[in-house]
Structure 1
Amino acid sequence: MKLVRFGETGQEKPGLVHSDGTVRDLSAVVRDIDGAALSEAGLSRLAWVDAEMLPIVPEGVRLGAPVARVGKLIAIGLNYADHAEEAGMQVPPEPVVFMKATTAICGPDDDVECPRGSEKLDWEVELAFVIGTRAKYVPLEAAMDHVAGYMVCNDISERGFQIERAGQWVKGKSHDTFAPLGPWLVTKDEVADPQALPLWLEVNGEPMQTGTTATMVYGVAYLVHYLSQFMTLEPGDVITTGTPPGVGMGMKPPRFLKVGDRIGLGIKGLGQQQQRVVQA
């Protein structure tokens, strides 16, 4: 299934993408696409829904982030060996874990805000996955049982705030609109191998990032296992898994986003995003 949330910001309704490409309204079936809907029981119930009988959502309606009420938005840094190299850093011996504020979450095509005082606004196309079953001290061989599905994330970053200001990365990762998600949440049964997905990003039509999740240092299964040793992962939690090379910070000279720029990105089978940079 491809699950979506549609409507104005703060008023999104649950939906799914029919095989004919139309968005269908799930409001009569489920309250929202949240942790409860993404549990094993919730997804089983949705799988039996006859999409033909659901109301068609008019074309052009805004899509919001595909998951509501995200409890934790966890990010993994330097998780592609070639990206670590362009950043001038060593491949980490363990996953680099940081948090993004959940208030950074927005729809896939919403405007991206350039924060006040920003001079180094950057892009990062990433594969994100969503937890469907509570995970605590999960063995590696059982890790994928806890994944509900996958989606595209643009891990927007303000490098000056992230690296040059005292403290942790979270300051450069958490401004409003710094986590566009979607357009869809694709359930794991439709993704044969999350470690074999091409991904790309362009700025103003110019290709910047092309890569594949095959070059991730720590894959989805390992990340579920690893993170569950340090914190309980709850249904609806989102983990975004790092980016391939081609970010603005790694260019020579560095190149950053400015107001008016347009970003396009996507992952094969998971859809595409389009954003415009505006001043906060």
Structure 2
Amino acid sequence: MRLASFRSAEAEGYGAIVDDGVIDLGRRLPALPTLRHAIAAGTLQTLRDAAKGQSADHALADVELLIPIPAPEKIWCVGVNYADRNAEYKDGSDLPRYPSLFCRSASSFVGHGVPLERPKVSEQLDYEGEIALVIGRGGRHIPRESALDHVFGLTLCNEGTVRDWLRHGKFNVTQGKNFDRSGSIGPWIVTSDDIDLSRPLELTTRVNGEERQNDTTERLMFPFDRLLAYLSTFATLKPGDIIVTGTPTGAGVRFDPPRWLKPGDLVEVEVPGIGLLSNRVVDEA
């Protein structure tokens, strides 16, 4: 099942994606006003039943897709997670023993089809195509062997980064990772019962049709189940939390000279079985 949050001419809502339209489930299920509420209630079958046999209420072309969970409690992001990524830093360091982590705010992301903003203070906006997990059943100290049971579904992320702001602080990358509307998540969530999490997923990022990144989750240094087990040792995972699982080699900063995003560029992140996340780049107004 594909589930999305959206804004129509009347209101914000959420629904099931069918063909080129969306069935408004929030209107049909008033006790579950947002997708986050629906996930927390553990009502996937209720969502399926509400969508069964229904026609789309809106054409996709007539709504704005929001990030699938517009107000998650937490967005965790994982750095340096694909094989060969550590070597890109050319610092001679050993492979990491633990994941590198940072947090992003929901306001730093837009949905599918909404422009990414290159900020006024920098020309170094970069792309990072990634797969994101959406937590269904929360928990703390989750065993690795049952960790995937806590995944509600998968979505895509362009974890847009403003490179020259990454090192403003001595010990963090927070500034460069949290510019408003610098990244995107979407277009929707594919529920975990419709995708085999045990099989490798192929991730591709393109800029203006040119392939820049391509890799599979078979090469993750910290696979999905290990990430969930690790994160939950210190933080309680909540329904609707988003975990962005890392980007392959090939970001713009790694070219010589670097290839920064500029207004008019089209960035596409694609994974078969999940979908295509697409955003144009504009300058901050």
Report the TM-score, using the length of structure 1 for normalisation. 0.92
Inter-partner Cα distance in structure 1 for 2:251 and 2:86:
11
CA distance 1:197–1:24, change in 2 (3 Å): same
Q: Which residue of 2 aligns with 1:5?
A: 5
Q: Which residue of 2 aligns with 1:24?
A: 23
Q: Which residue of 2 aligns with 1:86?
A: 88
Q: Which residue of 1 aligns with 2:42?
A: 41
Corresponding position: 1:151 with 2:155: yes
Counterpart contact for 1:194–1:213, Cα < 8 Å: no
CA distance 1:214–1:94, change in 2 (3 Å): same
Inter-partner Cα distance in structure 1 for 2:216 and 2:137:
27
Percent of paired sites with the same residue: 34
Q: Which residue of 1 aligns with 2:113?
A: 109
Equivalent of residue 231 in structure 2, options 202, 205, 227: 227
Q: Which residue of 1 aligns with 2:167?
A: 163
Inter-partner Cα distance in structure 2 for 1:9 and 1:84:
46
| Uncovered stretches (5+) of structure 1, i.e. residues with no partner | none
**How far off its partner does 1:52 sit?**
1.8
Counterpart contact for 2:118–2:182, Cα < 8 Å: no
Amino acid across the alignment from 2:34? D
Equivalent of residue 66 in structure 2, options 40, 60, 64: 64
Counterpart contact for 1:122–1:249, Cα < 8 Å: yes
Equivalent of residue 79 in structure 2, options 77, 80, 92: 77
**How far off its partner does 1:22 sit?**
3.2
Matches within 5 A, 1:163-182: 163=167, 165-182=169-186
**How far off its partner does 1:252 sit?**
2.3
Inter-partner Cα distance in structure 1 for 2:42 and 2:236:
20
Counterpart contact for 1:40–1:133, Cα < 8 Å: no
Inter-partner Cα distance in structure 2 for 1:249 and 1:10:
41
Across the aligned residues of Structure 1 and Structure 2, the Cα RMSD in angstroms comes to: 2.0
3-state SS, counterpart of residue 102 of structure 2: strand
Report the TM-score, using the length of structure 2 for normalisation. 0.91
Amino acid across the alignment from 2:39? L
| Uncovered stretches (5+) of structure 2, i.e. residues with no partner | none
Inter-partner Cα distance in structure 1 for 2:33 and 2:199:
32
Matches within 5 A, 1:117-266: 117-163=121-167, 165-193=169-197, 196-266=200-270
3-state SS, counterpart of residue 144 of structure 1: helix
